[in-house]
Amino acid sequence: MSEVRLQIKNLCKSFGITRAVQDVSFDIMKGEVHALIGENGSGKSTLTNCLTGIYSKDSGQFILDGKEINPRNQVEANDEGVSIIVQELGTLDSLTVAENIFLGHENKFVKFGIKNTAAMNSQANDLLKQYGFDRIKASEMVDSYNFEDRKLVEIVKATYFNPKIVVVDETTTALSQEGREELYKHINRIREEGNTVIFISHDLQEVLRMSDSITVLRDGVYIDTVKSADVNEDDLKKLMVGREVSGSYYRADYGEAVSDEVVLTAKGVTVPGLIQDISFELHKGEILGFGGLSESGMHEVGKAVFGASFDREGSVTLSDGTGIKDIPTAIAHSMAYTSKDRDNESVVMNQGIGDNICLPSLDSISNKAGILMSKKMKEFAGKHAATMSVKMVNTDQFVSDLSGGNKQKVVLARWIGKDSDILVLDSPTRGIDIKVKQDIYQLMDRMRKEGKSIIMISEEMAELIGMCDRILIMKDGRINAELMRDPNMDENKLIEQMV
Amino acid sequence: MGIETTAPKSTMISGKVKGYIILIALVVVSWAVFKVITPNNFGSPENMLSYLQASLIAATGAIGFYFVMVMGMFDFSIGANIMLSAIVGCVLATKLNLGYFGLVAGCIITGALVGLVNGSFYVKLRIPSMIVTTGLALIYESIANYIAGGVVQTLPADLRAFGQMPGDIILAVVAFVVAYLILNYTKIGTYTYAIGSNEFVTKNMGINVNKYKVLAFIISGAFLGTMAILTISYGSSMVAVTGMASMSRNFVPTMGCFFGLAFRKYGIPFPAIIIGEFVINIIFFGFIALGAPTAIQDVITGLALLIIITLTTRVNKGEIVK
């Protein structure tokens, strides 16, 4: 445990005028799980992206087992013994599972220019079997597997060659509990084999449970490295934010009566193959939670309520009798929706922060002649970006330049700007740091008090328990249980109904 | 024990079989429609063999073009490439007396060089491939016109073995086998799909994306050069047109390529290109048998193609189509 595996010396990386990593230096040991934590935009992913060749560093050194490394891409990083499992999807459509696993390393299967597909498939199948993923077939197109399975393929791809360092970059936020346990198993295996894991996560409980040491970054600057055994969650929060995270984290109230006024009624909502016969009422000022395993159908409920599902049956009706069958009707009647799949379904990546925030509010921003004034758009976007503390150069900055958490802030700023009365928030705090999480919880609480109604879909049981007036637990596409807000409720009660 | 995994929605074998059934149904339906309308001068076994031979010409170019299209690029200089390659091949074969060697090498090397220029300009200038290839098409037309000296280039009868059975079939089959090997048994094929899927991730895997893009244009060009051999051998001559008139030659290989893209999800892009070109030719020769005016032929061929691609391309609900 005492031998240094990786020395990071005076690392700097900037994007334009944004200094993402500033003169960062610290050591990572052999045979440890070393967590990297910090708020969104603190430089965690930038640092590891430099280490794995995704970005090129501006200055500084990575010294691996005494030798300086300067990988220019992931394959060179792999050759040096460094690999990464990324936050979002890291496999490529139109390629088979085997082709994805060995992408960039095909040469060992190529003789006289001809690729031995059978040998590649055979070796990939052997690896999948070794990892216990033998239901995934090497010769199948990776497109035919779901998100979780594709993450499992990534685990194989990143670790099969026994790398010295594996970076796990906020991967767990995209996984269900089962997927997380699978990943934890492999993290422990890597540590037991004497190799190192750099573990990035916003879930501090998970960080404390999984890691041996923790390095904290703030605004691209190194703050401290601590032993996991010597700290608790509050210590980490303080290090991350730079001050005590005061006040209540979740809602503090219990026993408050929810209004009898029903703002939305779902009756017999069915999406073939995904959800079946979902009926519920949403009350004014209520936070209604949906929980369950990742594939339980809860994420589809959000889409179905918002009119975004295909082939939806049943009805979703507002208090004034308006039926919600499509997205334009939902938005026109003051509904908002944030998707779990942030990059593909929520933000327009290659447009500015301002455009993203203003998108659903253009009618109200434009003047009577329908003309949009850029000054007014900037003011609108700036105001709501500031409410959400988006870390940015200005509102013209492209969303693609932002960290995962900051993208989520942009999505929320958009709907705050729209001042919607019914919000459907699917995984609203996914990939978001502790400080902004608290801000979002407080924002939800404020909205609730203002009479806005929220449907909160989440795989994080703690936030469902902490924030919701009522929780509907989904199982196999149906509502399996209804749990009321209760100070004595714990995660076990939810789990019992989920599995 | 691993966690539960979802099995793929369908196996590749059943997907392939389904794809072939659709393609064969298209052949049968298009044949049957014209056979009913004009039973005497359309669709005999001899006729069908000649339609197949004609379709192999365009299919040879289309399988090369497929590499470019899968990567998300386009080429508007297909017709100019075919024209220039055919003229160079013909000049080498006849005026320099290099015979078949001059014809084959001249066409394929010229096609590949055109591909190299297309690809190089595209990656160096960093402007859309459509614009680059449109501009270059004008230049290729002018070069072809200069080489031909404004005169029709005719291939003598003793050099037209690739314009008839079995020469044309042998050359086309060799081309299909080579393309199949490249796509399925080389790194180029893997990288073609990887770049088409996500160029950024592919680049991060250490793959020289620009190199493989240029390579795709070269492969496409070489196969279009092969198509030029078949074209001039079948038609016996080539006129060097200018003013973008060569673009009329783009249509048929491009349409075949669309069939390949549409049937990629069934795992049979190349068979789809070959059978797709056959369907196009059945429709084309069907109209000729009917004696329909050219304008009507074009309108109905265009519509038929849109209908076929729409019916055969089952886009998943919610999938973005661009």
Q: Is residue B7 predicted with pLDDT exceeding 60?
A: no
| Integer Cα distance of A408 and B53 in angstroms | 57
Predicted pLDDT of residue B321: 56
User: A282-326 pLDDT, tens per residue?
Assistant: 999 999 999 988 778 999 999 999 998 888 999 999 999 999 999
Does residue A1 register a pLDDT over 60? no
Residue B191 has pLDDT above 80, yes or no: yes
Q: Which residues of A touch B2 (CB under 8 A)?
A: 131-135, 152, 182
* Residue A196's pLDDT band (cuts 50, 70, 90): very high
In terms of Cα–Cα distance, which of A91, A96, A221 is closest to A154?
A91
Domain borders along chain B are 20-31+43-311
Q: Do B317 and A178 touch (CB under 8 A)?
A: no
Q: Check pLDDT > 90 for residue A38.
A: no
A104 and B207 within 8 Å at the Cβ level: the answer is yes
Residues 371-410 of A with CB under 8 A from B: none
Per residue in B83-97, pLDDT tens? Answer: 999 999 999 999 999
Q: Compare A252 and B182 and report the one with higher pLDDT.
A: B182
The pLDDT of residue B265 is above 90: no
pLDDT of the residue at B11:
46
CATH number assigned to the domain covering A4-241: 3.40.50.300
What is the DSSP-derived secondary structure letter of residue B6? P
CA-to-CA distance for B254 and A86, rounded, in angstroms?
38
> Which residue of chain B is at minimal alpha-carbon distance from A120?
B185
- Give the mean model confidence (pLDDT) for residues B135-150: 94
- Which comes out higher in pLDDT, residue B306 or A180? A180
A2-11, A154-163, B189-198: least confidently modelled range: B189-198
Interatomic CA distance for residues B270 and A368, integer angstroms: 55
Query: Looking at domain B20-31+43-311, does it have CATH number 3.30.530?
Result: no
- Place B119 in a pLDDT band, splitting at 50, 70 and 90: very high
Residue range B242-253: average pLDDT? Answer: 88
Backbone angles phi and psi of B214, in degrees to 5: -60, -40
Tens of pLDDT, residue by residue over A431-485, are: 777 777 888 888 899 999 999 999 999 988 888 988 999 999 999 899 999 999 9
A145 pLDDT higher than 70: yes
Mean pLDDT over residues B161-177, rounded? 94
CATH architecture for the domain at A262-498: 3-Layer(aba) Sandwich (3.40)
Q: What are phi and psi of A224, to 5 degrees?
A: -170, 160
Pairing mode, if any, of strands A4-15 and A18-29? antiparallel
* Domains of chain A by residue range: 4-241, 262-498
For residue A113, the chain B residues in CB contact (below 8 A) are: 186
Q: Give the per-residue pLDDT at A305.
A: 95
Closest-CA residue of A relative to B12 is A140
Could you tell me if A36 and A6 are in contact, meaning their C-beta atoms sit under 8 angstroms apart? Answer: no
Res B317: pLDDT: 58
Q: In the predicted model, what is the mean pLDDT of residues A199-228? A: 91
Taking all residues of chain A, what is their mean pLDDT, rounded to a whole number? 88
pTM for the predicted model, two decimal places: 0.70
- Which residue, A108, A47, A102, A82, is CA-closest to A190? A82
Mean local confidence (pLDDT), B107-134: 94
Out of A115, A144, A179, the one facing B8 most closely (by C-beta) is A144
Burial class (CB in 10 A: 0-12, 13-18, 19+), B149: exposed
Q: Given a cut of 60, is residue B4 above it in pLDDT?
A: no
Mean pLDDT of chain B: 87
| Surface of B (41-80) touching A: CB under 8 A | 70
Contact present, B78 and B136 (Cβ < 8 Å): no
Residue A165 in this model has a pLDDT that exceeds 50: yes
pLDDT band at B1, cuts 50/70/90?
very low
Neighbours of A130 (CB within 10 A): 11
Of the candidate ranges B99-108, B167-176, B303-312, the one whose mean pLDDT is the lowest:
B303-312
Q: What average pLDDT score do residues B144-151 get?
A: 92
CB-based contact, B206 to chain A, within 8 Å? yes
Residue B2 has pLDDT above 60, yes or no: no
Q: Is the pLDDT of residue A17 over 70?
A: no
